A and B are shown apart, each in its own frame.
Chain A
Amino acid sequence: MQEMMLAKAKELLQSGAVQRVLGWQTGEFVYDITPAVFTSAEEMDEKFVYSDFCGNNLSKYLIKESRKEGKILVFLKPCDTYSFNQLIKEHRIVRENVYVVGVPCEGKTDGETLKAKGIKGILGIKAEGDNFVVETLYGEKTIAKADALPERCLNCKSKKHMVYDELLGEEGEVLDSHRFDMVEKLENMTPDERFEFWRGELSRCIRCNACRNVCPACSCEKCVFDNDNSGIAQKAAADSFEEKMFHIIRAFHVAGRCTDCGECSRVCPQNIPLHLLNRKFIKDINTFYGDFQAGEDTESRAPLTNYTKGDVEPSIVYHKGGKN
């Protein structure tokens, strides 16, 4: 696939159809991939990569990149296309300046996930059938690909691209995932148990803002938490409640717009399962307004920004909230 992508990018750069290419570049190790903009074939030959470690969602970079002069080619995995569509719907990306090339994805792993499985001192990695064979400082280790994938890929919602100008490889299907199972488990807890769960998770937050900054739905020019004039600007939590406030306000703000790409949980240095907050909103929207997937299209009105006579009444809050 990498060879096909390289050939396509070089062809379009050469013909002048695009001036820049947004993709991934190699690092020091096999897994430390960085998003990058390439402007020449030579640069791409030297650094461009598409591997099992290219997890970064590139859509958000297009907010800036699509406003620059000329046209940019972007490689989007199926789940990245949802974010792209959502940003188009919110008028954040200049569509005519972008050439979208859809690329297939079999799930993306990362160094942290491999290390959590006990693989230390990673020097190299080879995909062999359904396994990764990892060369480490302490000998060769084999791990099944399925075991090496993070939660978001194990519960992949779609291998189908929602948008592209051109597709490389085979198109996949929208999948029946188990992504709401954990939300259901949380719903079935008592309020006290659930509070304990979230207190335990969120108390680890160091307010690095990585979740917010990577989130394609968090595209405000100036976040309220960075704005001194808002009165609630904060660089650090004054108490443990504020940590919860930051994440809960953020979850509310992206409700109905979050496509469940899972970048928030991928980047969290403290491994907080932040995606569960967003999934709760998605699940509730599905329940109360009918199935809705943000980023599926660029035209439809989202349930929370639309009004129909059938909308639930606010009093619904008294009837939900799980077990007592």
Chain B
Amino acid sequence: MFKLPVEKLSALFAAVAGKEALYIPADDASGQARYQRWHEGMEMTHALNTVRSAKDFFFPQTENLVDFKVKGKEIEIIDPRTEHEDFVIFGVRACDARSFTVLDKVFLADPVDSYYKSRREHGTIVTLACTHPEETCFCSVFGIDPAQPEGDARCWMDEKNLYIEAVTEKGEAFVASVKDQLAEGGEEEVAAQQKATRAVVEKLPLHKLSLEGFGGENMLKLFNSDKWAGLSQSCLGCGTCTFVCPTCQCYDIRDFNTGDGVVRFRCWDSCMYSDFTKMSAGNPRLTQLERFRQRFMHKLVYFPANNNGEYGCVGCGRCLAKCPISMNIVKVAKTLAEEVR
């Protein structure tokens, strides 16, 4: 383990940014935290997490897949991709770090999504342990330890120092590249901070949320529950939960007519929308109840059924904070628990 005085953090960022693109969570003009490309003078946010998740780096909201240019009877097919630059994301929280392994199970499974894969290969993830979780946090339910995040390298920060250790080969390379700025040590300080953070986690109101019974074994019982009507009755059918979620991975592919060709792009989609997975006969889910049910069945039942019990949620709490009507996965899980226990 290595350490660096916090007042030297900017120098560390400058050294990293000198070699590759560096992104950190920083406050924007509206006072909200989002990942931004670091430049001299930019400071880390004091917010616990960014409004949008870190999935944007690997799965952006919109992305051009292929261009078609039409000239007379000729159609030229153009791959719009350019070689991706190497980049570092610094300050990713434990929940978002785990979300990448959830997304990997979708995008890196056969057939591999080459757009996603390329970004994953070029990105180095440096995580930052939490010290002040919010009441909306429930990552511990998914076996995530906010005091010991995953990632290529992980950091802890207190008032004096930043502590860093490499986790993967990529992380080793990252730490080696800035080693001249680091001093050895910090094990004791980190252990003390972890102990304090874990004590807060024990006190979190959602820490003991149980997902027992959720998964493929109770699929039909959960699907046919009469509780969905009440849970979904006030749902606005907006895409807020989907778009702030670090693990939601559904997208639509559309053609944009440029006049002399077509730009084929993909963009995030939401199962909450009336035109989601629309086919010749329309949307297979005619009511908001069915759309609402799809989102939570996917995260709590279908995904674990297909991925060795791993849920499609990391407990970041963004949907709890942002849903306009305050309906969310925690309320759904607690209400449906009666069906399976």
Chain A residues packing against B (C-beta within 8 Å): 27-29, 31-37, 56, 61, 111-112, 115-116, 120-123, 136-138, 200-201, 204, 206-210, 212-214, 222, 226, 228, 233, 235-238, 263, 266-267, 269-272
Instruction: Determine whether the beta carbon of B135 is less than 8 Å from that of A34.
Output: no
Partner of B200, one of A35, A111, A137: A137
Q: State in angstroms the CA–CA spacing of A270 and B30 once bound together.
A: 9
Given A32-B328, A208-B242, A228-B278, 13 new contacts (CB under 8 A): A28-B205, A28-B331, A36-B230, A138-B132, A200-B30, A206-B243, A209-B238, A210-B240, A212-B238, A236-B267, A236-B268, A267-B324, A271-B30
Instruction: Determine whether the beta carbon of A29 is less than 8 Å from that of B135.
Output: yes
B253-266: CB near A (< 8 Å → 1, else 0) gives 01010000000010
Complex contacts, A270 vs chain B, CB 8 Å: 30, 32, 51
Partner of B324, one of A122, A137, A210: A210
Write the nearest CB–CB distance from B191 to chain A, whole angstroms: 21
Q: List 14 A-B contacts (CB under 8 A).
A: A28-B205, A36-B233, A123-B135, A138-B132, A206-B61, A206-B239, A208-B239, A210-B324, A213-B236, A214-B236, A214-B324, A226-B274, A270-B51, A271-B30
Q: State in angstroms the CA–CA spacing of A210 and B320 once bound together.
A: 15
Among residues of A, the one whose C-beta sits closest to the C-beta of B319 is A269
5 nearest A-B residue pairs (beta carbon): A236-B267, A267-B324, A32-B326, A210-B238, A213-B236
Among residues of B, the one whose C-beta sits closest to the C-beta of A201 is B30
B182 close to chain A: CB less than 8 A: no
Q: State in angstroms the CA–CA spacing of A267 and B235 once bound together.
A: 13
Q: State in angstroms the CA–CA spacing of A32 and B324 once bound together.
A: 9
Complex contacts, B240 vs chain A, CB 8 Å: 208, 210, 267, 269
Complex contacts, B136 vs chain A, CB 8 Å: 29
Write the nearest CB–CB distance from A78 to chain B, whole angstroms: 21
Instruction: Determine whether the beta carbon of B61 is less than 8 Å from that of A236.
Output: yes
Q: In the complex where A214-B324, A235-B267, A271-B32 touch, is A61 in contact with B62 (Cβ < 8 A)?
A: no
B134 close to chain A: CB less than 8 A: yes
B33-48: which have CB < 8 Å to A? 34, 48
Complex contacts, A226 vs chain B, CB 8 Å: 273-275
Chain B residues packing against A (C-beta within 8 Å): 28-32, 34, 48, 51-52, 61-62, 132-136, 200, 203-206, 230, 233-234, 236-240, 242-244, 252, 254, 256, 265, 267-270, 273-275, 278, 320-322, 324-328, 330-331, 334
Q: Interface centre among B205, B269, B334, by most A CB within 10 Å? A: B205
Q: State in angstroms the CA–CA spacing of A210 and B270 once bound together.
A: 12
Complex contacts, B230 vs chain A, CB 8 Å: 36
Complex contacts, A111 vs chain B, CB 8 Å: 321
Q: State in angstroms the CA–CA spacing of A275 and B120 once bound together.
A: 39
Partner of B204, one of A37, A137, A210: A137
Among residues of B, the one whose C-beta sits closest to the C-beta of A33 is B326
Complex contacts, B233 vs chain A, CB 8 Å: 36-37
Instruction: Determine whether the beta carbon of B28 is less than 8 Å from that of A204.
Output: yes
Complex contacts, A138 vs chain B, CB 8 Å: 132
Complex contacts, A209 vs chain B, CB 8 Å: 237-239, 273
Write the nearest CB–CB distance from A206 to chain B, whole angstroms: 5
Q: In the complex where A214-B238, A235-B254 touch, is A56 in contact with B325 (Cβ < 8 A)?
A: yes
Complex contacts, B265 vs chain A, CB 8 Å: 236, 238
Q: State in angstroms the CA–CA spacing of A269 and B326 once bound together.
A: 12
Complex contacts, B273 vs chain A, CB 8 Å: 209, 226, 235
Instruction: Determine whether the beta carbon of B238 is less than 8 Å from that of A213.
Output: yes
Write the nearest CB–CB distance from A11 to chain B, whole angstroms: 24
Partner of A235, one of B30, B238, B268: B268
Q: State in angstroms the CA–CA spacing of A111 and B325 once bound together.
A: 12
Instruction: Determine whether the beta carbon of A238 is less than 8 Å from that of B62.
Output: yes
Write the nearest CB–CB distance from A27 to chain B, whole angstroms: 5
Complex contacts, A263 vs chain B, CB 8 Å: 324
Q: In the complex where A137-B200, A206-B52, A235-B269 touch, is A200 in contact with B29 (Cβ < 8 A)?
A: yes
Partner of B132, one of A31, A37, A121, A222: A121
Instruction: Determine whether the beta carbon of B135 is less than 8 Å from that of A121.
Output: yes
Q: State in angstroms the CA–CA spacing of A314 and B170 once bound together.
A: 63
Q: In the complex where A206-B243, A213-B238, A238-B256 touch, is A28 in contact with B327 (Cβ < 8 A)?
A: no
Complex contacts, A210 vs chain B, CB 8 Å: 236, 238-240, 324
Among residues of B, the one whose C-beta sits closest to the C-beta of A272 is B30
Write the nearest CB–CB distance from B279 to chain A, whole angstroms: 12
Instruction: Determine whether the beta carbon of B275 is less than 8 Å from that of A269.
Output: no
Complex contacts, B244 vs chain A, CB 8 Å: 206, 269
Instruction: Determine whether the beta carbon of B322 is less than 8 Å from that of A269.
Output: yes
Instruction: Determine whether the beta carbon of B326 is less than 8 Å from that of A204.
Output: no
Q: In the complex where A137-B203, A228-B275 touch, is A112 in contact with B321 (Cβ < 8 A)?
A: yes
Q: State in angstroms the CA–CA spacing of A53 and B270 once bound together.
A: 28
Q: In the complex where A34-B326, A121-B133, A236-B62 touch, is A208 in contact with B238 (Cβ < 8 A)?
A: yes
Complex contacts, A34 vs chain B, CB 8 Å: 234, 325-327, 331
Complex contacts, A204 vs chain B, CB 8 Å: 28, 30, 32, 34
Complex contacts, A267 vs chain B, CB 8 Å: 236, 238, 240, 324
Complex contacts, A28 vs chain B, CB 8 Å: 205-206, 320, 330-331, 334
